Amino acid sequence: MKKGSSSARDAILARLRDSLAAADSVFRSQSELEEPRGVPSDVTVADAEGTNLAEVFCESLRGVLGSCEIAASIDEVPVRVVQKIEGWRPEQGDQIGGGEEVLSWAENALPLPKLHRQLEAAGISIFVPDDMDVRADRDHASMLSIGLTGVDAAFASIGTMAFVPGPGKSRSASLLPLHHIALVPESSIYPNLEKWLAVLRESGELEPLFRDHSQLAFVTGPSKSADIELNLTLGVHGPREVHAIVFDDGRTA
């Protein structure tokens, strides 16, 4: 072994010996490990409550190129949904018209239990896939340009919506269509993600949420993609437009 290599080796070993001799300064003691950890500070903050929180959410969603409106009452929501669908008619041309069909969550999974019947009375058909493993359901869903869902939570500070897939709550309704309408009860809006997780933890729902579901989906506005020249394109990997309709459901988050 060359003298230079031997000197470098000796220097490294000397540093290791010095570190091990002062192990208390490198490794935490068992008592320190057993001390309860402090709660990390929130990453984002939204200082508002109630209706103000809804307004902050809408502003944040618009900031990430989504769109949002607050219905004056829960009874106004079906009218807002129909108006939004009709507003997309000129853009879609022959793809939707008098016989629009919407890819939707099941009626009992939506925050308005009678919404399907109200939309059908307005001439809008509803398709709820039984099983996306069935090719016929996948093919049918892929042809529809509008998706309709509720939300499991919405975060005012960043305009993000959380979706927990399950029976009657197919991911396809928020991923496949060009347009996505999300119904957001004010009771589902939280200042931020950390507050939602804290509420779930306090109610004992946090562990079942992660244990019983293979995934959660977080949507922050429409799908976005930019090439190397930073040319932004919407709708490449998901909806081109994400529209939230917020309403007071008489509950609090």
CATH code of 153's domain: 3.40.50.10420
Structure tokens at 177: 């269509």
Residue at 38 is within a domain: no
Residue at 131 is within a domain: yes
The per-residue pLDDT for 36 is 66
Residue at 226 is within a domain: yes
The per-residue pLDDT for 98 is 43
Residue at 142 is within a domain: yes
The per-residue pLDDT for 38 is 65
State the residue for tokens 């949420």.
209
- State the DSSP code for 4: H
Phi, psi of 158 (to 5 degrees): -130, 0
Q: Which residues of the chain have pLDDT under 70?
A: 1-5, 22-40, 48-51, 90-99, 227, 229, 252-253
Alpha helices per DSSP H over the chain: 3-21, 30-34, 50-63, 77-87, 89-92, 115-121, 135-142, 172-175, 193-203, 206-212
Domain that holds residue 130: 50-247
The number of folded domains in the chain is: 1
Structure tokens at 122: 């307005």
**Is 23 in contact with 220 (CB distance < 8 Å)?**
no
